[in-house]
Amino acid sequence: MRLALSLLASTLFATLPAYAEDHGPFHPASVDVYFSPKGGATEACVDAIAAAKKTIHVQAYSFTSAPIAAALVAAKKRGVTVAVILDKSQKTANYSEADFVAHAGIATFIDAKHAIAHNKIIIIDGAVVITGSFNFTKAAESSNAENLLVIRDPKMAARYLTNWAEHKAHSESYAGR
């Protein structure tokens, strides 16, 4: 394990000069990692959403987590701008939180351009990115083997926001059923 980490670190640091040429100087981000089942990923999402001051942008493939949906609605109620892009399956999926957030006045969009819109991303205040294999679902927290990263890095958040906007541009507005 130590050898693998050493090789990974040496590979990463060997690529930093090329990264700096394309992206500017490398500044390591603050990263927290969570694993499921029952590893605190949902709580990490809810806590990060609760700390949001200005904006929250979400992309989700499957979205059935009542705690995450409730945190988004609470953020909207305290004045945070919240917008959600979901996979087309969420229009008809049982237990989807798409209707809950749309009916709460959160700008909700459906990305039907792709076979599946498989992103699992929350971008907070243009500075924090939450991503990983972790679907925003009850099963992801309680049953599945998944991972979640909470990355505090404005440059990375900017790249994710650009991608979020590209997907929003081809998504359709969703008012709920």
Buried b (16+ CB within 10 A) or exposed e, 28-54: ebeeeebebeebebbebbbebbeebee
CB-based contact 168:85 (threshold 8 Å)? yes
**Across the strands, what pairs with 172?**
110
> Is residue 168 annotated as a catalytic residue, yes or no?
no
Contact predicate 50/76, CB 8 Å: no
Peptide bond into 37 cis (omega under 30): yes
Tokens of 29: 């981000």
- Strands (DSSP E) contained in 19-69 are 30-36, 55-60
57, 76, 120, 167: the catalytic one is: 120
Question: Given 91, 99, 118, 168, which residue is catalytic?
Answer: 118
Determine how many CB atoms are found less than 10 A away from the CB of residue 143.
12
Spot the catalytic one: 125, 138, 153, 168: 125
| Residue 125 annotated in active site | yes
By annotation, the residues acting in catalysis are: 118, 120, 125
